[in-house]
Amino acid sequence: MGNKRHGCTNAYFAKKRREKQGGNTSENPKEDNRSSYETTIRENEKFLQYYKMQNICPKGEWDHFISVLKSDLPTSFRITASSNIEAKSLLKLVEGVFFTDLLKGELSDEQKNSKPFCLPWYPQRLGWQLKITRKDIRGSEAYYRLHNFLISETGNGNISRQETVSMIPPLLLDINPSDKILDMCAAPGSKTAQLIESLYSGSTSSVPDGLVIANDVHNARCYMLVHQAKRLNSANVVITNHDATVLPAMHLNENGDSLLKFDKILCDAPCSGDGTLRKNPDIWTKWSPGNANNLHGIQFRILKRGLELLNVGGRLVYSTCSLNPIENEAVVQRMMNEAKGSVVIVDARHKLAGLKTMDGLSQWIVVSKDLDVYKSFDEVPEKWTTQIRPQMFPLKDDLFNLNKCIRILPHHQDTGGFFVTVLEKTKPLPWETALKETQEENEKSANGVEIKENKRKPKKRRYQGYKEDPFVFLTNEDPVWPEIRDFYELSDFPVHCLLTRCSVGKKKNIYYTSSSIRDIVKNNQDRVKIINTGVKTFVRCDNKSMKCNFRLAQEGLAGISSYIGSKRRLQLTRDEVIIILKNPTIPVTDLDQKTKDKLENFGVGSCILNMIDENFPLELVGWKGFSTLKAYVNGECRLHYLRLLGVDVSQFDVNKFKKESNDDEPVDKNGTFIEEVITNNTEIKEELVPDINGLKEELIEKS
């Protein structure tokens, strides 16, 4: 995974969401009237009756459970784990600067009790929870530096603000860098991001062998996945848009005689979401026991398809943010019953040391939406038999060790409610074996004529949403390849892993994927709707002074850097990198003599700036002008690296509470520059900057 992308659209999504909800769209905190949640009535008599009957909470804890459910959710976040060195440096900064700072400020008694704490079960101390809500952080001056920091580092993928319990499922998948992973219901993608990070965190290669396919049935929500994946700059991800209950097995080659099976699958199913009542209080008014009954069927079908796509020996995690056994244990029990011993429930609690959990239920009640309780399917009146299914009832004995399922109750750790189960496939599912036998018989009876399931003509599918541009992979014969290859001295580079999104006309961006992702995209474009893949690696810049029409993109640098020769590399000292990051452009004359010497015969154009530091290897895309050098990265990225290099960047922190009164204060040249790039941080601007600068430089030097 490359250096993370810099450009935040979180605010955009939040604004759109508020617009849709008819709420305030203002970015000014003083005008912010997000009070609708405060006025939501957090009561529902049926909810209380139902869960009392379900016995999901120990009797003496009921009142505590309900009072916590009615309160707002605290903030939690995790530091991106894909690059160990960066994660460690950021952690040092979080613990050493922001939290210490925070506790030094003028705090109310309540705020003093809100000391951040590290989630004991999250690896490498990278998961954190604060005893304050997001609203508190947004609305209090004492937290403005932390708030700015979280927003800036979230935008460029170094931090993810994620609900504590939602961090659990990916951890239980035990991911290795070579794993083929499927995220069946992935949007908006916080767990997908964790899956991608896990692929990289154990890998010694900048492009691991494994892959992540992130899928969601809702076309619009798939673009949230695109946003998530882009923050992480991974060449190992594909985003697909398909109904997970009938997700086709992907072809690994052109003949379609080799199908992709996954080593790890996350099935984070659509659910009634009553575990998220603290975050989404409007669920209080909408809640009905009928919702769970209506979801049970689709949850089961998604889980079943997941197990079909799983390798024998592979692991699947089924999770929901619902407290309801009909969506949880009943789904798992039904699946275990059909799997007939080919799947086992794994006890994974030891992976969550320090987290208080409850055992899965082995007995529960089944009710209609009017809260009438039925002990067996025979008692269910006909009018409810489409909603209540026989498989929803608990078996008399717990034949499948449902107690190994994991429940998390909100009041135990001040979190949301959650359900998670780890399943392992120990042999083919009974119907997979039967299918294989029928297939073999068909083959025999056809007397040598091969009839293969996967060779049948696929049904024509109607796709929703935009028609995506094609994914066109480059070949050695592509007209743009020789100039790129020669300019960057790319040796042994897998050119067939580069792709564009246009089949005719000038190529603008060139993306890079791992070779397994390339095979999947090439062989399945007609069968599954592929929304996005690849990390931006080369960008057309048409600068006449450069001998190649494509510059490097910071996003894709980590993936291809090892292939690039020495001609376009510059070794810089730590101090030089700091100066370059602090300034928009610097004259070559300001650099060390060694660098000046090297730059004498260094052609104009895109290059790699390598910082010489064993403990913190840093690579940036740079631009060598006629007599200047600059880092070709945006403002957030500059701030990030300056922070990691120990530079105090507090001068760039905008205190929105004081902003109006400070408007007249002069800001130094660097401050203005960085702030400008952050606030106007658009791709278009980034694309334009070098050309304008190149042009300016050319003019200045010519005159």
Ligand X SMILES: C[S@@+](CC[C@H](N)C(=O)[O-])C[C@H]1O[C@@H](n2cnc3c(N)ncnc32)[C@H](O)[C@@H]1O
Helix (H, G, I), strand (E, B) or coil at 165: helix
Binding flag, residue 584, ligand X (CB under 6 A): no
Residue 187 counted as an annotated binding residue:
yes
Binding flag, residue 244, ligand X (CB under 6 A): yes
- Hey, how many other C-beta atoms are within 10 angstroms of the C-beta on 271? 25
Residue 191 counted as an annotated binding residue:
yes
Sole binder of ligand X in the list 197, 263, 268, 327 (CB under 6 A): 268
Length of the chain: 703
Residue 486 counted as an annotated binding residue:
no
Catalytic residue flag (residue 548): no
- Interacting positions 192-231 with ligand X (CB under 6 A): 216-218, 221
Nearer to ligand X, 185 or 235 (CB): 185
Query: x/- site string to ligand X, residues 301 to 320, per CB under 6 A?
Result: -x------------------
Binding flag, residue 294, ligand X (CB under 6 A): no
Residue 630 counted as an annotated binding residue:
no
Helix (H) or strand (E) holding 38: helix 36-39
Closest contact distance (angstroms) between CB of 270 and ligand X is: 4
- Measure the CA–CA gap between 314 and 306, rounded to whole angstroms: 11
Residue 216 counted as an annotated binding residue:
yes
- Measure the CA–CA gap between 667 and 664, rounded to whole angstroms: 9
Sole binder of ligand X in the list 202, 270, 297, 603 (CB under 6 A): 270
Nearer to ligand X, 207 or 226 (CB): 226
- Interacting positions 367-406 with ligand X (CB under 6 A): none
- Measure the CA–CA gap between 5 and 637, rounded to whole angstroms: 8
Binding flag, residue 530, ligand X (CB under 6 A): no
Residue 185 counted as an annotated binding residue:
yes
Binding flag, residue 139, ligand X (CB under 6 A): no
- Measure the CA–CA gap between 141 and 153, rounded to whole angstroms: 19
Active-site position among 267, 321, 405, 637: 321
**Please, which residues have CB within 8 angstroms of residue 306's CB and are 6 or more apart in sequence?**
182, 184, 244, 265, 267, 316, 318
What letter represents residue 638's amino acid? R
- Measure the CA–CA gap between 63 and 657, rounded to whole angstroms: 39
Q: In this chain, which residue has its C-beta nearest to ligand X?
A: 185
Closest C-alpha among 605, 609, 607, 625 to residue 617: 609
Distance of CA 557 to the CA centre of its chain: 20
Nearer to ligand X, 296 or 551 (CB): 296
Nearer to ligand X, 83 or 160 (CB): 160
Tokens found for residue 155? 């935008």
- Interacting positions 451-510 with ligand X (CB under 6 A): none
Could you tell me how many residues of this chain bind ligand X (CB under 6 A)? 20
Query: x/- site string to ligand X, residues 156 to 195, per CB under 6 A?
Result: ----------x-----------------xxxxxxxx----
Please report, for residues 39, 133, 225, 457, the alpha-carbon distance to residue 445 in angstroms, rounded to integers and kept in the order given: 70, 67, 46, 21
Nearer to ligand X, 248 or 584 (CB): 248
**Please, which residues have CB within 8 angstroms of residue 618's CB and are 6 or more apart in sequence?**
577, 610, 611, 641, 645
DSSP 247: P
Residue 268 counted as an annotated binding residue:
yes
Name the segment binding ligand X (CB under 6 A); options: 97-105, 239-247, 494-502, 576-584. Answer: 239-247
- Measure the CA–CA gap between 158 and 34, rounded to whole angstroms: 28
* Phi, psi angles (nearest 5°) of residue 553: -115, 135
Residue 222 counted as an annotated binding residue:
no
- Hey, how many other C-beta atoms are within 10 angstroms of the C-beta on 397? 7
Closest contact distance (angstroms) between CB of 181 and ligand X is: 13
Q: Which stretches within 80-165 are classed as H helix?
A: 84-93, 99-104, 109-112, 134-139, 144-155
Q: Which residues are catalytic?
A: 321
Binding site residue list:
185-191, 216, 243, 268
Residues engaged in binding ligand X (CB under 6 A): 166, 184-191, 216-218, 221, 243-245, 268, 270, 298, 302
Which residues fall in the annotated binding site for S-adenosyl-L-methionine?
185-191, 216, 243, 268
